[in-house]
Structure 1
Amino acid sequence: MYKVLLTLSIPIMINSIIQTLYNLADGIWVSKISSVHFAATSFVWPINFLFVALGIGLSVAGTSLLSQLLGADKYKEARKYSSQLMAASLILSIVFTLLGVILSPYIIKLMGGEGYFANLANTYLRISFLDLPFMFLFFNINSMMNAQGNTVTPTILSAISALINVVLDPVLIFTFNMGIAGAAWATVISRIVLTLSGFIIVFKEGNNLKPDFRGFKADKNILQEIVRVGLPASIGQAGASTGFMFLNGFIVSYGTATLAAFGMVNRITSLVMQPAMGVGAALTAVVGQNLGAGRLDRATESFIKSSKIALFIGVIGGVIIFIFNKPIVNFFIQSKDEPEVIIQSINYMKYVAFSMPLMGMFSVFQGIFQGSGNTKYSMYMEIGRLWAVRLPMILIFKNYTAFGPTGIWFSMSVSNLIVCIYGLFVYKTIGWKRKRLSEE
């Protein structure tokens, strides 16, 4: 089982790290202009992610349902699901792109963005919305490949795309003097290349999940099943991104230095935790296939061994971040125009280091709940972490203590502990395994 999990998860880990490098590359190059420019990219991330949430839900549904169908040797039905999934993704992503471009300045204003800072944020966000159709479609492509156990190909495609982004960033930002808009356009162009390359692969004859749109008609039953599995994951992601929008609204009240520190450290920890997140993503496919084949024992074994791997990664990541916090921050914060950004980033990293193992377990709980089709529990974890724990704690620290930004850093770490306790409670007591098998 360790071999199975690592074989599947290592390419996903690399792929996830590459995806994170999109934002990191933008952040590093933009931070060379000023910390305000970097803070603007961090400020609008939750807004863009709110629209991406449904695409992630469709991706979760795709991996879960397709892997279970393949595990039960229902190839013809699986191909129907892949066609319906891709059509729904394309239509929804176009609608979201239009809404995002129109609503962008109003949302930024509601979050507290003003003046020059708001103009920078709006420029970056509006361009970023243009890559939604390509991002949604690649989510589908990724689900099809992961469900078949092919995690290497998406990694190779993502690596090429990330390389294009890294090369284009300085060219568009500085050579063509496009500033923050250049960073956004670099990401859009690289994602277009990524998705077109993926199309070439999934539409080949050898693909067991090759979509077929000849005489295509929407299938109500299939779409309902996709919604049943995918909607809770989408709601969870949307609830989390909405929570981060409110969170950024609170954080910006402490100043752009605090916001820049918050955004930078979150990107660093996201990069460090990608291996654990890769294990969780691989677990989704492993659990789905084994439940589809009626192998409950293998599904349970995969969870236990994934937990051990994720905890090990979390401990190592936490130690690295705690010991080397200063050089790491100095590398990623290229502009030294605000020393306060460096000070607050180092302080935040010390707090977050202790919750790294918990972040790994969070990904594993997400993997087993999504793989078994019980996505409502992953939804509760996503939403609960922010709305039930993190935001109330931050409000209490802000209004009733003199902790300042430290209250934010402490709340971030404690919320990871509480939500993992909830995940363990669900796993041990509610019986997700028996419920899913009885539905089958």
Structure 2
Amino acid sequence: MNKQNKTEMILKGSIYKVLITLSIPIMINSLIQTLYNLVDGLYVSMISSVHFAATAFVWPVNFLFISLGIGLSIAGTSLLSQLIGGDKIKEAKEYSTQLMAVTLLSSIVFTIMGYIISPTIIRLMGATGDLAELGNIYLRITFLDMPFMFLFFNINSMMNAQGDTITPTVLSGISAIINVILDPIFIFTFDMGIAGAAWATLISRAILAVVGFMMLFSEKNKIRPNFRGFKFNGEIIKEIVTVGLPSTIGQSGASLGFIVLNGFIGSYGTATIAAYAMVNRITSLVMQPAMGLGSALTAIVGQNMGANQIDRVKEAFHKALKLTIIIGSVGCILLIVFDNPIINFFMQSKDDPSVIELSLTYLFYISLSMPLMGIFSVLQGLFQGSGNTKYSMAMEVGRLWFVRLPMILIFKHLTNWGSSGIWFSMSFSNLIVCLYGYWIYRGNGWQKRVIKLDDECQGEGTLGIVE
């Protein structure tokens, strides 16, 4: 199916068919991206639980830096899909060019900055000894793959905005296979340990970005960038920042929250960090279908808002909501029933039995909120697709800073729950944020247009934020 037919399907086809058709490749793509970390973690856990804990301990730091790339990607999908839905292909090409330029420039700056300050950040987080040394090794190398990761964010946003969710998935699949092959070679054969896991990921992502870059400029991409006579366009960059900044703040705010959260978890010992990381990686696998539906909804909402089809936007939201609740409920049951074999499979090293015990407790608590995590993803897709990313920002930041972290502090200092207080807070915060998100949805503020697509602007070729 070509991109023009996909646009027609998004604007006129069966909602369930559109959701499933677009979300399945996104699910596979997200699953593949998750496998990068899972494969690293699986091999690293064979060395020791401290090595595994180190990869999890530094993850929020790396995510804090790439949050800008994620925000720009969300802005790209939202704006480009609305332009495509409004049949403004020429403007979409200009937006894609500006988006790529800003993204690549940002990635280079953050790579240099992150590599330099990595040891300082880890020290401020309170890590010492082997945890600090191993964490710094892993984090510094992961910073080097940031330009490649940011470039792939561009590829994702441009392709997804056109309804092409298959191309990024194929590219990710090839990259994941390369990563799986390189991991044991670098970690064990070359005896590089935790550094080998990071280098394997970097090389596989570099190959992914290079191939994707070539495909981005092929004739098949109808909104391919054009850098001939390139100049930065202040108006377009302003619109990209206006839509992308709230998402960036939301992602970075969440990352900072997770850094603080890791500090709290670390106060209970390395075993608790390892348990937290292990269960999160397991649940991230189970959550792929719901996350895929949320991402697919972004393009569906964007194109239909561009075509002034608000009733179809609401229909897509409600049907995506039903699907994610069903999927989340099934996932909850499976995780609770098969908790022991699942945990023992993913934690290969048995050097610390308390890690298994803590993981089982956390898995039970977080399993109960699986349907809520699906609802969260769908609400995010709705707000991001409409371009009103301030609401998705509020959900991201609010969940951690105003619900989860305060609850963890209360349980830590006023009860004797121990680490169970953390697990309960993680689960309960998902309920509170979903109630908030649905309240925003009922208020209809998310329907406010962020880009002009009316006929009177078409002749002048002007686009702007609608206040």
Instruction: Give the alignment's TM-score, normalised by structure 1.
Output: 0.99
Which range is displaced more, 355-364 or 393-402? 393-402
Which residue does 1:309 correspond to in 2?
323
CA deviation vs aligned residue, 1:177-202 (integer Å, no higher than 9, x gap): 00000000011001001111111211
Q: Which of 44, 49, 54 pairs up with 2:58?
A: 44
Q: In structure 1, how many angstroms separate the alpha carbons of the residues matched to 2:449 and 2:172?
A: 36
Q: Which of 264, 267, 271 pairs up with 1:253?
A: 267
Which residue does 1:406 correspond to in 2?
420
Q: Which of 402, 407, 415 pairs up with 1:393?
A: 407
Correspondence 1:10 to 2:24? yes
Per the TM alignment, residue 437 of structure 1 is displaced from its structure 2 partner at its CA by 8.4
Per the TM alignment, residue 430 of structure 1 is displaced from its structure 2 partner at its CA by 4.3
CA deviation vs aligned residue, 1:90-135 (integer Å, no higher than 9, x gap): 1100000011101111111111100121000000000000010000
- Judge conservation of contact 2:82–2:305 (CA < 8 Å) in 1: yes
Per the TM alignment, residue 435 of structure 1 is displaced from its structure 2 partner at its CA by 5.6
Q: Which of 147, 152, 177 pairs up with 2:161?
A: 147
Q: In structure 1, how many angstroms separate the alpha carbons of the residues matched to 2:185 and 2:450?
A: 51
- Judge conservation of contact 1:351–1:409 (CA < 8 Å) in 2: yes
Correspondence 1:330 to 2:344? yes
Which residue does 1:136 correspond to in 2?
150
Per the TM alignment, residue 206 of structure 1 is displaced from its structure 2 partner at its CA by 2.5
**Identity across the alignment (%):** 67
Q: Which of 300, 304, 313 pairs up with 2:314?
A: 300
Instruction: Name structure 1 gaps, 5 residues minimum.
Output: none
How many positions carry a matched residue from both structures? 440
Correspondence 1:72 to 2:86? yes
Correspondence 1:366 to 2:380? yes
Correspondence 1:427 to 2:441? yes
- Judge conservation of contact 1:313–1:357 (CA < 8 Å) in 2: yes
Which residue does 1:279 correspond to in 2?
293
Per the TM alignment, residue 209 of structure 1 is displaced from its structure 2 partner at its CA by 1.0
1:229-244 equivalence runs, <5 A? 229-244=243-258
Q: Which of 389, 392, 399 pairs up with 1:378?
A: 392
Q: In structure 2, how many angstroms separate the alpha carbons of the residues matched to 1:67 and 1:244?
A: 31
Q: Which of 236, 248, 264 pairs up with 1:222?
A: 236
Correspondence 1:289 to 2:303? yes
Q: Which of 331, 334, 354 pairs up with 1:320?
A: 334
Q: In structure 2, how many angstroms separate the alpha carbons of the residues matched to 1:52 and 1:313?
A: 29
Paired amino acid for 2:355: V
- Judge conservation of contact 2:77–2:158 (CA < 8 Å) in 1: yes
Q: In structure 1, how many angstroms separate the alpha carbons of the residues matched to 2:255 and 2:51?
A: 21
1:162-177 equivalence runs, <5 A? 162-177=176-191
Instruction: Name structure 2 gaps, 5 residues minimum.
Output: 1-14, 453-465
Q: In structure 2, how many angstroms separate the alpha carbons of the residues matched to 1:139 and 1:287?
A: 19
Q: In structure 1, how many angstroms separate the alpha carbons of the residues matched to 2:260 and 2:145?
A: 24
Paired amino acid for 1:373: G
Q: In structure 2, how many angstroms separate the alpha carbons of the residues matched to 1:6 and 1:251?
A: 38
- Judge conservation of contact 2:149–2:205 (CA < 8 Å) in 1: yes
Q: In structure 1, how many angstroms separate the alpha carbons of the residues matched to 2:293 and 2:406?
A: 30
Q: In structure 2, how many angstroms separate the alpha carbons of the residues matched to 1:404 and 1:396?
A: 11
Q: Secondary structure at the match of 1:276?
A: helix
Paired amino acid for 2:95: Y
CA deviation vs aligned residue, 1:400-434 (integer Å, no higher than 9, x gap): 11100000000000000000000000001243225
- Judge conservation of contact 1:291–1:437 (CA < 8 Å) in 2: no
Which residue does 1:91 correspond to in 2?
105
Q: Secondary structure at the match of 2:224?
A: coil
- Judge conservation of contact 2:386–2:449 (CA < 8 Å) in 1: no
Paired amino acid for 1:350: F
Q: In structure 2, how many angstroms separate the alpha carbons of the residues matched to 1:405 and 1:207?
A: 50
Which residue does 1:266 correspond to in 2?
280
Q: Which of 96, 110, 114 pairs up with 1:82?
A: 96
1:119-134 equivalence runs, <5 A? 119-134=133-148
Paired amino acid for 2:244: G
Q: After TM superposition, which residue ranges in structure 1, 4 or more long, deviate above 4 angstroms?
A: 434-438
Instruction: Give the alignment's TM-score, normalised by structure 2.
Output: 0.93
Correspondence 1:27 to 2:41? yes
Per the TM alignment, residue 21 of structure 1 is displaced from its structure 2 partner at its CA by 0.3
Correspondence 1:351 to 2:358? no
Q: In structure 2, how many angstroms separate the alpha carbons of the residues matched to 1:328 and 1:309?
A: 24
Per the TM alignment, residue 385 of structure 1 is displaced from its structure 2 partner at its CA by 0.3
- Judge conservation of contact 1:16–1:278 (CA < 8 Å) in 2: yes
Q: Secondary structure at the match of 2:145?
A: helix
1:171-190 equivalence runs, <5 A? 171-190=185-204
RMSD, matched Cα: 1.0
Q: In structure 2, how many angstroms separate the alpha carbons of the residues matched to 1:33 and 1:50?
A: 27
Q: In structure 1, how many angstroms separate the alpha carbons of the residues matched to 2:375 and 2:451?
A: 24
CA deviation vs aligned residue, 1:47-104 (integer Å, no higher than 9, x gap): 0000010000000000000000001110010000000000101110000001110111
Q: In structure 1, how many angstroms separate the alpha carbons of the residues matched to 2:235 and 2:271?
A: 50
Correspondence 1:60 to 2:74? yes
Q: In structure 1, how many angstroms separate the alpha carbons of the residues matched to 2:80 and 2:448?
A: 20
- Judge conservation of contact 1:165–1:186 (CA < 8 Å) in 2: yes
CA deviation vs aligned residue, 1:375-410 (integer Å, no higher than 9, x gap): 000000000000000000001111111100000000
Paired amino acid for 1:139: F
Q: In structure 2, how many angstroms separate the alpha carbons of the residues matched to 1:282 and 1:118?
A: 39
Which residue does 2:7 correspond to in 1?
none
Q: In structure 2, how many angstroms separate the alpha carbons of the residues matched to 1:393 and 1:143?
A: 36
Q: Secondary structure at the match of 2:56?
A: helix
Paired amino acid for 2:377: S
Q: Secondary structure at the match of 1:335?
A: coil
Which range is displaced more, 20-29 or 430-439? 430-439
Paired amino acid for 1:100: G
